[in-house]
Amino acid sequence: MSHAYESPTGKIVWREPTRPLSEGPPPREINVEGVIFKRSYRAEQAGVPATKGWPIECVASGVHADDAQALRDEFDRVGVPTEVTADGDPVYRSPKHRREALKARGLFDRSAYY
């Protein structure tokens, strides 16, 4: 896995690990042509849902298209109104809404939520 580093001006550079993780964590800072770049966890987590880009359609927590109406009814019953596409995929409006909807269904995302 590559590590991202950010300059004071916001430029991002990626570096492959130069040693095994068993020898310790990657450096927090690197020097690139006299400029100090600090480790950017934000850039490394680009695949994690951010506060921008909402709403999102979630295929992973969806149901079969034949069960889409039942899922809509379930969201209404538990008090978390959520749009469900014809394909059975819930549409989450924000990270908070996603957390609430997953929790109401007894689901959780170990990587990011609840």
Q: In this predicted model, which residue has the larger pLDDT, 110 or 104?
A: 104
Report the pLDDT value the prediction gives residue 110, as an integer from 0 to 100: 73
Q: Locate the domains of the chain by residue range.
A: 3-44, 56-104
Cβ burial of 114 (10 Å; 0-12, 13-18, 19+) is exposed
pTM of the model: 0.53
Report the pLDDT value the prediction gives residue 114, as an integer from 0 to 100: 45
